[in-house]
């Protein structure tokens, strides 16, 4: 037995090597079952957890991008609506200003026509007044002239004409 | 009897007086007449019978011109 255990070939203790190999194998086998597989399992589990997190993150990113796209579309729609309403309001304002301008033009034309009418009336009144004054002066002159110039014959003729008109007789 | 007032611008000539009297007689029959002289009439005659005025004076004709101007 000792001779077997102590046998060497070429100076190498093959029994010890074999024993070491057997111990190594046993150790490795034990580590495999006690350490390697649990560690592997733990690593797999952790890997799955990480992957799950990555997948979830990717999903959330996609959802966020989808929401962003949706909000961008809504913002664009709001911007368009605002632009449309601004355009409509501007058109209404322009129409209102045009209406006010036309109303003002109409009022100005009416005032101008009224002023011209008033001027014409004033001119007519002045002409009438002047005509009256001229008539007054002419009549005054006529009175003064008649007072001096009417003859007995003319006066008699005048009386005769009146009596004829009133139903009298004349020779 | 009707009371007549006759107003003239200057005293009537006899021929004119005859014509006036003839007119009054034809129109009123019986009457009394008073003659007045008012040079503001300028000429012609005005007869007033108590109710109506017959105005044939030059002044009234000029006033009518002034009014109708």
Q: Give CA–CA dist B47/A74, Å, rounded.
A: 108
| Helix, coil or strand: residue A168 | coil
Q: Give CA–CA dist A167/B11, Å, rounded.
A: 23
**Is B11 an interface residue toward A (CB < 8 Å)?**
no
Q: How is chain A split into domains, by residue range?
A: 12-108
* pLDDT tens digits along A116-127: 999 999 999 999
- Provide the token pair at A55: 């997948």
**Is B33 an interface residue toward A (CB < 8 Å)?**
no
Complex prediction ipTM: 0.89
Q: Give CA–CA dist B39/B18, Å, rounded.
A: 21
Contacts of A165 in chain B (CB under 8 A): 56
**Cα of A149 to nearest chain B Cα, Å:** 10
**Is B25 an interface residue toward A (CB < 8 Å)?**
no
More confident call, A131 vs A66: A66
Per-residue pLDDT band at B69 (split at 50, 70, 90): low
- Which alpha helices (DSSP H) does A8-151 contain, by range? 14-31, 37-149
Q: What is the DSSP letter of B11?
A: P
* pLDDT tens digits along A73-113: 999 999 999 999 999 999 999 999 999 999 999 999 999 99
Task: Please spell the DSSP secondary structure of B12-34, one letter per residue.
Answer: PPHHHHHHHHHHHHHHHSSEEEE
User: Phi and psi at residue A31, in whole multiples of 5°?
Assistant: -65, -35
Q: Collect all residues with Cβ–Cβ distance below 8 Å to B24 and sequence separation of at least 6.
A: B4, B6, B31, B33, B47
Whole-model pTM above 0.80?
no
**Cα of A114 to nearest chain B Cα, Å:** 28
Q: What residues 140-169 of chain A have any CB closer than 8 A to a CB of chain B? A: 142-143, 146-147, 150, 152, 154-156, 158-163, 165-169
Q: Can you say how many angstroms the Cα of residue A42 is from the centroid of all Cα atoms in its chain? A: 63
Cβ of B58 within 8 Å of Cβ of A163? The answer is no
Q: Collect all residues with Cβ–Cβ distance below 8 Å to B35 and sequence separation of at least 6.
A: B6, B7, B8, B12
| Size of chain A in residues | 171
- Provide the token pair at A87: 């355009």
**Is A136 an interface residue toward B (CB < 8 Å)?**
yes
Q: What percent of chain A has pLDDT over 70?
A: 92
User: Phi and psi at residue B18, in whole multiples of 5°?
Assistant: -60, -45
Contacts of A169 in chain B (CB under 8 A): 19, 22-23, 26
Nearest residue, CB atoms, B27 vs list A142, A167, A171: A167
Cβ of A146 within 8 Å of Cβ of B66? The answer is no
| Helix, coil or strand: residue A120 | helix
**Is B27 an interface residue toward A (CB < 8 Å)?**
yes
From A142, which residue of chain B is nearest by alpha-carbon distance?
B62
């Amino acid at each position: 037995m000792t001779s077997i255990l102590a046998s060497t070939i070429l100076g190498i203790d093959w029994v010890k090597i074999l024993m070491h190999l057997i111990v190594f194998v046993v150790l490795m086998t034990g580590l495999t079952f006690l350490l390697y597989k649990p560690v592997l399992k733990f690593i797999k589990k952790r890997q799955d957890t990480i992957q799950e997190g990555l997948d979830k993150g990717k999903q959330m990113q996609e959802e966020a991008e989808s929401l962003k796209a949706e909000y961008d579309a809504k913002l664009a729609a709001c911007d368009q609506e605002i632009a449309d309403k601004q355009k409509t309001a501007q058109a209404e304002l322009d129409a209102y200003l045009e209406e006010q301008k036309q109303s003002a033009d109409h009022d100005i034309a009416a005032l101008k026509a009224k002023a011209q009418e008033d001027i014409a009336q004033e001119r007519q009144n002045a002409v009438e007044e002047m005509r009256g004054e001229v008539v007054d002066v002419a009549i005054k002159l006529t009175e003064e002239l008649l007072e001096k110039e009417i003859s007995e014959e003319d006066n008699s003729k005048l009386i005769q004409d009146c009596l004829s008109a009133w139903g009298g007789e004349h020779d | 009897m009707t009371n007549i007032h006759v107003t003239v611008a200057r005293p009537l000539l006899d021929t004119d007086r005859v014509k006036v009297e003839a007119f009054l007689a034809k129109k009123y029959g019986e009457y009394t007449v008073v003659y007045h002289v008012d040079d503001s009439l300028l000429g012609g005659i005005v007869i007033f019978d108590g109710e109506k005025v017959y105005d044939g004076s030059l002044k009234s004709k000029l006033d009518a011109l002034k009014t109708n101007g």
